[in-house]
């Protein structure tokens, strides 16, 4: 059941990073669940990137899948500390194949000292992927009820704008929209991420900048940015910073915030001044879902037969694929290596009541901005950034 059309949500409008990234760092996963469980989840995430490539090929979904890896640029001494920590963490656990690149082997961004390269990332066209999956689902015999708004659900039945439906299992996959259902305001926090895209840019220009076909890029700042060279040679570029809305409200009008879109344009130009002469053709945004402990989870209550998956934060392309596989296994009572992963049946605490939630979410945004300013000034990882890391599982 989908209120609008399949892909209306974050899945149809994201940055197209099909990555092995996960909201919690490997170190935190190891601390909470043990080293072996942490490594198993990292491996499952890395495999998900390839499985999406394989599955879309098998299903004939042309979603511009290109596995060209991701470059996290190092643009200050403070970011260099984080890069070294990322390489050290990968070395310690021995699963992620991160490498440190010098400036001439990474995208040629301004004041870049190089990058950390992670091969476990493909780029995709999100809307082509999700629409392709919807078509494949129907071809396999599934029925998709679009323009069907769910008002509420309880064990065995769902109340919708098209009437009541019954079913043995119910999967709540509302993610950034979960808070819009009765009684669920504190389960998931809708965090807005906004995007811009350039007109097509000549290949020589992008090649000259060291942005390889299909590559994705970011840097180590606190207020996340993310970019992708699309199949048709545009740069799709996004970032956080849009405001949280009181009461976990989600509205279509929140998808476009002129000040944040202008900020993204400035940041893209700051990274690659050569791109300033190319037009920004589209601006949009959307809500992603954040659980109180920033941990993604997949769960099935064997008594009520209600399942839930989400809390992917900004890493939902790969993680929702893994979650989908786990949901199928749980519902069909299949014991698989994936059903013993540490995100299975994990319970996150609830978010605070308002106005505390509002103060925390808005405060975190201001803190991330401040930490970036301090770090570029002092060259050291800031105290605020450590607190943000501690609060967000990094
Ligand atoms: C701008 C942006 C950029 C992002 N970039 C990346 C990225 O590059 N890589 C990455 O891995 N992740 C990224 N993410 C996160 C990722 O897109 C999400 O984690 C993922 O798509 C979540 O998928 P989902 O199916 O769980 O939720 P969604 O795709 O949000 O689907 C939820 C659906 O529920 C529907 N719905 C809402 N209310 C109701 C209701 N009452 N009844 C019925 N249906 C309802 C919505 O219309 C929506 O289609 C980004 C997110 C955003 C917003």
pLDDT digits (tens, 9 = 90+) for 144-173: 999 999 999 999 999 999 999 999 999 999
pLDDT band (50, 70, 90) for residue 373: confident
Q: Which atom of ligand 1 is nearest to the CA of 226?
A: 8
Domain 10-392 has CATH 3.30.9.10: yes
What is the Cα gyration radius of the chain? 20
Q: Does residue 256 contact residue 284 with C-beta atoms inside 8 Å?
A: yes
Distance (angstroms) between ligand 1 centre and the Cα of 14 equals 8
The finding on whether 238 has its CB within 6 A of some atom of ligand 1 is yes
Q: Give the distance from CA 96 to its chain's centroid.
A: 18
pLDDT band (50, 70, 90) for residue 389: low
Distance (angstroms) between ligand 1 centre and the Cα of 78 equals 32
The finding on whether 1 has its CB within 6 A of some atom of ligand 1 is yes
pLDDT of residue 4 exceeding 80, the answer is yes
Position 391 scores a pLDDT of 63
Q: What is the average per-residue pLDDT within 188-205?
A: 97
Mean pLDDT score across all residues of the chain: 95
To test ligand 1's pocket by mutation, which of 182, 241, 317, 322 has the most ligand atoms within 8 angstroms of CB? 317
Q: How far apart are CA 307 and CA 178, in angstroms?
A: 13
Percent of the chain with pLDDT over 70: 98
The finding on whether 239 has its CB within 6 A of some atom of ligand 1 is no
pLDDT of residue 139 exceeding 90, the answer is yes
* Number of residues that make up the chain: 394
Q: Per-residue pLDDT tens for 302-322?
A: 999 999 999 999 999 999 999
Q: How far apart are CA 98 and CA 19, in angstroms?
A: 13
- 285-318 burial, b at 16+ Cβ within 10 Å, e below that, comes to bbbbbbbbbbbbbbbbeeeeebbbbbbbbbbbbb
Atom 52 of ligand 1, nearest CA residue: 14
Closest Cα partner for 215 from 205, 225, 229, 202?
A: 229
pLDDT band (50, 70, 90) for residue 368: confident
Which 8-state DSSP code applies to residue 344? B
Which 8-state DSSP code applies to residue 223? S
To test ligand 1's pocket by mutation, which of 152, 174, 285, 327 has the most ligand atoms within 8 angstroms of CB? 174
Q: Give the distance from CA 346 to its chain's centroid.
A: 19
Phi, psi of 72 (to 5 degrees): -100, 110
Structure token pair of residue 313: 């934060």
Q: How far apart are CA 367 and CA 285, in angstroms?
A: 22
Q: Per-residue pLDDT tens for 242-268?
A: 999 999 999 999 999 999 999 999 999
Longest dimension (CA), the chain: 60
Span of 166-170, 288-292, 337-341, 368-372 with lowest mean pLDDT: 368-372
Q: What SS3 string covers 243-289?
A: CCCHHHCCCHHHHCCHHHHHHHHHHHHHHCHHHHHCCEEEEEEEEEE
Atom 27 of ligand 1, nearest CA residue: 175
Which 8-state DSSP code applies to residue 316? H
Q: How far apart are CA 336 and CA 42, in angstroms?
A: 16
The finding on whether 190 has its CB within 6 A of some atom of ligand 1 is no
Question: In this structure, are strands 115-118 and 70-73 parallel, antiparallel, or unpaired?
Answer: antiparallel
The finding on whether 145 has its CB within 6 A of some atom of ligand 1 is no
Which DSSP string do the residues of 64-105 spell out, in sequence order? --B---EEEE--SHHHHHHHHHHHHHHHHHS-S--EEE-GGG
Decide: helix, strand or coil at residue 328.
helix
Instruction: Tell me what percent of the chain is helix, strand and coil, each rounded to the nearest 5.
Output: 40, 20, 40
Structure token pair of residue 302: 């064997």
Residue 96 vs residues 28, 117, 119: alpha-carbon distances, Å: 15, 10, 9
Q: Does residue 116 contact residue 99 with C-beta atoms inside 8 Å?
A: yes
Distance (angstroms) between ligand 1 centre and the Cα of 374 equals 32
Distance (angstroms) between ligand 1 centre and the Cα of 8 equals 8
Region for 60 from its dihedrals, namely left if φ exceeds 0, alpha if ψ lies in -120 to 50, beta otherwise: left
What residues does 46 pair with on adjacent strands? none
Which DSSP string do the residues of 349-390 spell out, in sequence order? PPPPPTTHHHHHHHHHHHHHHHHHHHHHHHSS--HHHHHHHH
Locate the domains of the chain by residue range: 10-392
Position 393 scores a pLDDT of 59
Distance (angstroms) between ligand 1 centre and the Cα of 370 equals 28
Q: What is the average per-residue pLDDT within 337-345?
A: 98
Atom 53 of ligand 1, nearest CA residue: 286
């Amino acid at each position: 059941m989908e209120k609008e059309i399949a892909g209306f949500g974050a899945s149809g409008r994201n940055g197209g990073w099909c990555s092995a990234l996960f909201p919690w760092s490997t170190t935190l996963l190891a601390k909470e669940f043990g080293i072996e469980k942490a490594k198993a989840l990292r491996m499952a995430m890395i495999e998900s990137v390839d499985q999406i490539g394989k599955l879309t090929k098998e299903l004939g979904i042309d979603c511009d899948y290109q596995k060209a890896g991701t470059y996290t640029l190092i643009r200050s001494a403070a970011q260099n500390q984080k890069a070294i920590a990322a390489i050290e963490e990968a070395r310690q656990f021995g699963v992620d194949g991160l490498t440190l690149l010098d400036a001439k082997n990474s995208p040629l961004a301004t004041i870049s000292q190089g990058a950390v390269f992670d091969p476990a990332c493909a780029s995709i066209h999100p809307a082509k992927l999700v629409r392709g999956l919807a078509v494949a689902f129907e071809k396999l015999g599934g029925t998709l009820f679009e323009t069907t708004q769910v008002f509420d659900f309880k064990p065995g039945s769902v109340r919708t704008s098209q009437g009541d439906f019954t079913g043995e299992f119910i999967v709540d996959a509302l993610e950034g929209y979960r808070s819009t259902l009765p009684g669920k305001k504190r389960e998931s926090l809708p965090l807005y991420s906004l995007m811009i895209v350039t007109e097509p840019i000549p290949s020589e220009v992008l090649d000259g900048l060291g942005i390889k076909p299909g590559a994705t890029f970011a840097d180590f700042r606190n207020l996340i940015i993310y970019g992708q060279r699309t199949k048709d040679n545009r740069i799709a570029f996004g970032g956080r910073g849009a405001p949280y809305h009181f009461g976990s409200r989600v509205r279509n009008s929140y998808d476009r915030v002129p000040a944040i879109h202008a900020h993204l344009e400035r940041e893209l130009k700051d990274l690659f001044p050569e791109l300033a002469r190319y037009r920004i053709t589209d601006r949009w945004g959307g809500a992603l879902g954040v659980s109180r402990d920033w941990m993604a989870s997949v769960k099935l209550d064997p008594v009520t037969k209600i399942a839930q998956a989400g809390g992917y934060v900004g890493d939902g392309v790969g993680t929702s694929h893994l979650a989908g596989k786990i949901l199928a296994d749980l519902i069909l009572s299949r014991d698989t290596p994936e059903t013993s992963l540490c995100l299975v049946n994990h319970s996150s605490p609830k978010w605070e009541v308002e106005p505390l939630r509002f103060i925390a979410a808005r405060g975190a945004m201001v803190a991330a901005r401040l930490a970036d300013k301090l770090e570029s000034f002092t060259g050291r990882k800031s105290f605020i950034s450590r607190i943000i890391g501690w609060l967000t599982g990094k």
